[in-house]
Amino acid sequence: MSDTLLDIKDLSIEYHTEFEKVYAVNGLSLKLNYGETLGLVGETGAGKTTTALGIIRLLPDGIGIVTKGSIQLDGTDMVHESEEKVRKLRGKTVSMIFQDPMTSLNPIKTVGDQIQEVLRAHDRSMSKAELSRQVDEMMEMVGIPSYRKTEYPHEFSGGMKQRIVIAMALVCEPKLILADEPTTALDVTIQAQMLGLIRNLQKKLNTAMILITHDLGVVANTCEKVAVMYAGEIVENGFAEQIFCQEKLHPYTRGLFNAIPKLDVETSRLEAIEGMVPDPTQRIEGCRFANRCRFATPACSQEPPYVEVENGHFIKCHLFSGENRSGKTIPETVSGSLTREKSVVSEKEVS
Amino acid sequence: MNKKSRLFSIRTFFRRLFHRRIVILGAVIVLIFIIGAIFATVIAPYNPYKIDVLHSLRGASREHLFGTDENGRDVFSRVLFGARTSLLIGLIAVLFAAIAGILLGLISGYFGGWVDIIISRIMDAILAIPNVLLALSLGLVMGNSIPSLMFILGISTVPNYARIMRGQVMGIRNSDYVLAESVMGAGTFRILLSHLLPNCFAPMIVLITQNIGNTILSEATLSFVGLGVNPPTASWGGMVNDGYIYLISNPVYSLAPGVCIMLLVFGFNVLGDGLRDVLDPKLRGTLK
Amino acid sequence: MRKFILKRLGQGIIVFMLICFFSYIIMFLIPGDPVYALYGANISPEQYQMYYKQLHLDQPLLLRFFNWFINFLRGDFGWSSRYRCSVNELIATRLPITMYIGILSLILTAFFGILFGVIASVKRGKWQDSVITVLANIGSTMPLFWIGVLGVYVFAIKLGWLPASGYTSPFIDLGLNLKQILLPVIAMAFCQVANITRLTRSNMLEVINDDFVRTARAKGITEHEVIFGHVIPNAISPVINMIGMLFRVVVAGSVAIEKIFNIPGMGQLMIVSITSKDVNPLQACIVVISTVVLIVNLLVDIIYALIDPRIRLQ
């Protein structure tokens, strides 16, 4: 058996609604090994959640459609495999922690029942005592006294609910967890607790994880690998150290870093990325970031290549392609030493 | 999404409304009946009140499209005039109910406390009395002239509007943005109005459209049991009842007005559903 | 839970009093003299004086209402001038008939309405959904009395399968009884099924899009378990509520249905008492029927609270 748990190749997902087509994911490729943690970073609407839903095949029925590409998860083709087979993988091989714990629990079922349901779905022969024992164990593991299993979700606080959601996701010891912004809806103080909890359990159970977030700080604390998504594609992908050392970066990732306040450098004002995310209902030729990019050149109207700038560090940008590949000037230009005029000129050229 | 819906232009509104063909069908049906009702005097081939005993209870023919009734009156002409009765009563009764309900809901939600309790219980009482029963007993008191019918039919739907309105007022009263504005010194009533109008417009329009159909049905039911519109005024419910005894000699007499009720109510319901899909952002896009 | 029931009970009692008061003042709002209205116009002046006293018309309104109300609570509904018997007797023979037909049609309504609604929502966008939605749209526009007329035309006149009218007690001839009530029950259920179907479908669709349903799917339970374990229990409460409300519609429907099929129930009693200005039976009808509706709604609220734990705590 190879080390690869998840292999996504050239995945495209579209949403077909009554009035329009939305191109949510466009030719995304991604690999993840057993036990690894990947941070999937990007703005709202970049297609992170869609990708996760594609992996676990829970895209809205008849609306979210995989139009291209393949997803191999632990040897199963998640795009074409029968529903029955995929269902058996959900919860057991891959499980998902959703963003909002307030709405992800069934309000009229006790939390114990909801955790137990996962176990029963994957092992119908399990005895009542055994089910109950495992539920108790899991609840204690996420830090909730097991006697509270007969309570209903509305009797728990937000953080507690998220603990229950985590318990549900982990109770069958899956090989992959998709954590979709698991801390966004929670208080800052609880966020750190929750991440610590997820990280601990993940280590203990040796589970791989894709952590979806828009917070680079969260990624730095938890993930070995980082993938940056922009407008439905991965623009940069590498080990956390490679990205956080900030030597070679995609202009978009650079922008993300510049938008974070730094404690050691005195900045009068945070630098936002100019412009807006492209309209997802339009197909775009070439680089999707070009209209917001300060380094855009005419070449950007062509589809940019994936360039391996370091071992395992990929950037999808023309700046790193061809003769520039080993050029030493690149990091400098990317870090923002270009003159203002030049960037204005290049914007004009693009338009 | 929400912001976009505010900026709806009239054209996109109609484009979305008529996106589903069935909504067009509903609108066309309603329009046909409205035109038929307005121009009933022009379109009707005969005087709907002209008695011609010699030609009573004829089946459908070229001269009499739907045949004649027991007094020899042309059924098709009477159906046309029946549309007038139904639409007039339906529209005015619903408008009356909407205005009364909205006002009561406003008062109830705005003042709260005892006022709210009293209004709410009265609304509950109206809801607990089956509407036909309420209409029957009010009819006994007020007589069954057309204006009193409008009032009677309207009153049983007042609680629907009052409840929604009250809920909206309460919800907005307690919401953060109203709190924020009153902190900044705006009067509560002014804030309420400025937030209520955009928030309530859509549900009210939808409710009104959907209620027209129901009210027309109730009017027909009352007329059918002989406690609605007084003869000889043509009304569909009354015609179904009159024709019921003659099902064997001229079935069209009783069945045709029934089909008309169905079509008109269908038209209003479909239109109401269409409006709901377009105006209610919560449901928009989820219905295919 | 007890507090919840007590609160609902309290509200119910207030509403009950309001309805009683309403039905009481009807008598005095009817144009004309209440004494003549009650006992007919051809009574002697002495009789008039006697009845006037008997009705306590010389006392203030609220006191009169109170006396009347006490009698009412004791179960004394007065005398019917039209039928020449006590109203209690009338109600006792007629209420069971209306309830019998009403409850049967309500059971049919609930069963088929929920069934079709669930099917339509689960098969959303497929042909099953289209067929059910179109039928429900048509069904909800059909006037109940017209379905009755149509039913008589097709099944009694054209096909001759079923009797066109009449009512026989099921204790006397069950077979004939079933034949006679078949059309009324189906006619009453028909348009209500359409309403329940529409409501069930829209509630189901709303819940199907909820986050917790996605969570449930992510657990790997079967679609069957998702629908029956998560979606239906959450979507059903408003439907149960609606079925409680439908009880009103059933009562209203009985007015038309009992006229068409000539069934001696409450609906017929109401029409006759109104056309003959017989006030006592009408008052009794209003109060009895509304009380039944109130009790049904109270039961519905309790069921509602049992299903949904959040309501209990409010």
Encode pLDDT of A112-128 as tens digits: 989 988 888 888 888 88
Show Cβ contacts of residue A131 under 8 Å, excluding neighbours closer than 6 positions.
A116, A119, A120
Q: Provide the percentage of residues in chain B whose pLDDT is more than 90.
A: 3
Residues 93-132 of C with CB under 8 A from A: 124-125
pLDDT surpasses 70 at B233: yes
Instruction: Name which residue leads in pLDDT, B276 or A226.
Output: A226
SS3 B74: strand
pTM for this one? Answer: 0.75
Q: Which burial class, exposed, middle or buried, applies to A206 when counting CB atoms under 10 A from its CB (0-12, 13-18, 19+)? A: exposed
Task: Fill in the DSSP letter of residue B285.
Answer: T
Give the total number of structural domains in chain B: 1
Least confident of A238-247, C163-172, C228-237: C163-172
Measured between beta carbons, the chain C residues lying within 8 angstroms of B269 are 137, 140-141
CB within 8 Å of C6: residues ≥ 6 apart: none
Q: Is B220 on the interface with C (CB under 8 A)?
A: yes
ipTM exceeding 0.85? no
Task: Please state which of the four CATH numbers 1.25.40.10, 1.10.3720.10, 3.40.50.1010, 3.30.465.10 is assigned to the domain occupying C95-276.
Answer: 1.10.3720.10
Q: Look at residues B125, B263, B283, B266 and name the one whose alpha carbon lies nearest to residue B203.
A: B283
- Which chains does B contact via 3+ CB–CB distances below 8 A? A, C
Which residues in A lie closer than 8 A to residue B287 (C-beta atoms)? 18
Q: Which of residues 50-79 of B touch C (CB under 8 A)?
A: none
Distances, alpha carbon B114 to alpha carbons B117, B192, C253, in Å: 5, 20, 35
Among A15, A16, A18, the strongest candidate for a mutation testing the B interface, having the largest count of B CBs within 10 A, is A18
Q: What is the mean pLDDT of residues A224-242?
A: 88
- What is the tens place of the pLDDT at every residue in C110-124? 899 999 999 988 887
The answer, yes or no, to whether residue C283 has pLDDT greater than 70, is yes
> Is residue A324 within 8 Å of A340, Cβ to Cβ?
no
Distance from CA of B128 to the nearest CA of C (A): 6
Per-residue pLDDT, averaged over B144-163, amounts to: 85
pLDDT of residue B280: 64
For chain A, say whether C173 makes contact (Cβ under 8 Å): no
C-alpha C159/C-alpha C167 separation (Å) is 20
Helix (H, G, I), strand (E, B) or coil at B229: coil
**Lowest-confidence pick of A5-9, B230-234, B257-261, C26-30:** C26-30
The percent of residues above 90 in pLDDT, for chain A, comes to: 3
Q: Is C219 on the interface with A (CB under 8 A)?
A: yes
Least confident of A63-77, A240-254, B52-66, B158-172: B52-66
| C225 has pLDDT over 80 | yes
Model pLDDT for residues B89-111, shown as the tens digit of each residue = 889 999 999 999 988 988 888 78
Q: Taking a C-beta distance cutoff of 8 angstroms, is the pair B131, C252 a contact? A: yes
Q: Lowest mean pLDDT: which of A190-194, A214-218, C160-164, C266-270?
A: C160-164
pLDDT at C311: 64
Q: Which residues of B touch A62 (CB under 8 A)?
A: 288
Query: Which residues of C fall within a CB distance of 8 Å from B244?
Result: 149, 152, 260
Distance to chain C for A55, nearest Cα, Å: 11
Lowest-confidence region among A214-218, B112-116, B147-151, C75-79: C75-79
Residue B6 lies in a domain: no
Predicted confidence (pLDDT) per residue in C27-73, tens digit: 777 766 767 766 666 777 787 787 777 766 777 777 877 877 887 77
Instruction: List chain C residues with CB under 8 Å of B230.
Output: none
Of the candidates C221, C307, C308, which has its C-beta nearest A121's C-beta?
Answer: C221
**A259: closest CA of chain B, how far (Å):** 26
pLDDT value of residue C115: 92
Whole domain around residue B134: which residue ranges?
Answer: 18-43+66-284
How far from A27 is each of A211, A239, B157, C188, CA to CA, in Å?
A: 20, 21, 55, 57
The alpha-helical segments, DSSP class H, found in B8-145 are 10-17, 21-38, 40-43, 75-111, 113-128, 131-142
* B220 neighbourhood in chain C, CB within 8 Å: 143, 145-146
- Residue B141 distance to chain C (closest CA, Å): 4
| Distance (Å, whole) CA C224 – CA C308 | 21
- The Cα–Cα gap between B214 and B135 comes to 14
Helix (H) or strand (E) holding B195: helix B188-224
Q: Domains in chain A, start-ordered, CATH in brackets?
A: 4-228 (3.40.50.300), 248-262+286-351 (no CATH)
Is pLDDT above 50 for C281? yes
Q: Report which of residues A3 and B198 the model is more confident about.
A: A3
> Residue A5 CB: number of other CB atoms within 10 A?
22
Q: What angle do CA B275, B276, B281 make, to 5 degrees?
A: 115
Comparing A13-17, A250-254, B50-54, the range with the smallest average pLDDT is B50-54
Minimal-distance CA residue of chain B relative to A15: B285
Contact present, C240 and C227 (Cβ < 8 Å): no
Instruction: Compare all CA atoms of chain C with the CA of A110 and give the residue at the minimum distance.
Output: C309
Nearest-neighbour CA in chain B from C168: distance (Å): 22
Q: What is the pLDDT of residue B20?
A: 74
Question: What is the pLDDT at residue C91?
Answer: 85
* Number of CB atoms found within 10 A of residue C289's CB: 27
Q: Cβ contact (<8 Å) for A58 and C225?
A: no
Q: What is the mean pLDDT of residues C76-101?
A: 82
> What secondary structure does DSSP assign to C87-135, as a single string?
HHHHHHHHHHHHHHHHHHHHHHHHHHHHHHHHHHHHTTTSHHHHHHHHH
CA–CA min distance A17, chain B (Å): 7
Q: Is the pLDDT of residue C256 over 60?
A: yes
What integer is the mean pLDDT of C262-282?
82
End-to-end CA distance of chain A: 49
Judge whether A185 and A102 are in contact, CB under 8 Å.
Answer: yes
Amino acid, single-letter form, for residue A292: R
Q: What is the pLDDT of residue B97?
A: 92
CA distances from B257 to B49, B80, B111, C149 (A): 16, 9, 46, 12
Chains touching chain A, criterion 3+ CB pairs below 8 Å: B, C
Residue B216 belongs to domain with CATH number:
1.10.3720.10
Nearest chain A Cα to B284, which residue? Answer: A18
Nearest beta carbon to residue B224 from set C125, C256, C274:
C256
For residue B61, tell me if it sits in a domain. Answer: no
CA distance B269 to B217: 12
Q: How far apart are CA B268 and CA B23, in angstroms?
A: 10
Q: Which is it for the CA torsion A180, A184, A187, A193, positive or negative?
A: positive
Handedness of CA B14, B20, B25, B26 (dihedral sign): negative
Q: Find the angle CA(A165)-CA(A167)-CA(A173) to the nearest 5 degrees.
A: 125
What is the domain partition of chain C in residue ranges? 2-74, 95-276
What is the token pair recorded at C117? 């609604």
Contact B79, B236 (CB under 8 A): yes
Q: 3-state secondary structure string, chain A?
A: CCCEEEEEEEEEEEEECCCCEEEEEEEEEEEEECCCEEEEECCCCCCHHHHHHHHHCCCCCCCEEEEEEEEEECCEECCCCCHHHHHHHECCCEEEECCCCCCCCCCCCCHHHHHHHHHHHHCCCCCHHHHHHHHHHHHHHCCCCHHHHHCCHHHCCHHHHHHHHHHHHHCCCCCEEEEECCCCCCCHHHHHHHHHHHHHHHHHHCCEEEEEECCHHHHHHHCCEEEEEECCEEEEEEEHHHHHCCCCCCHHHHHHHHCCCCCCCCCCCCCCCCCCCCCCCCCCCCCCCHHHCCCCCHHHHCCCCEEEEECCEEEECHHHCHHHHHCCHHHHHHHHHCCHHHHHHHHHHHC
What is the predicted pLDDT for the residue at B100? 92
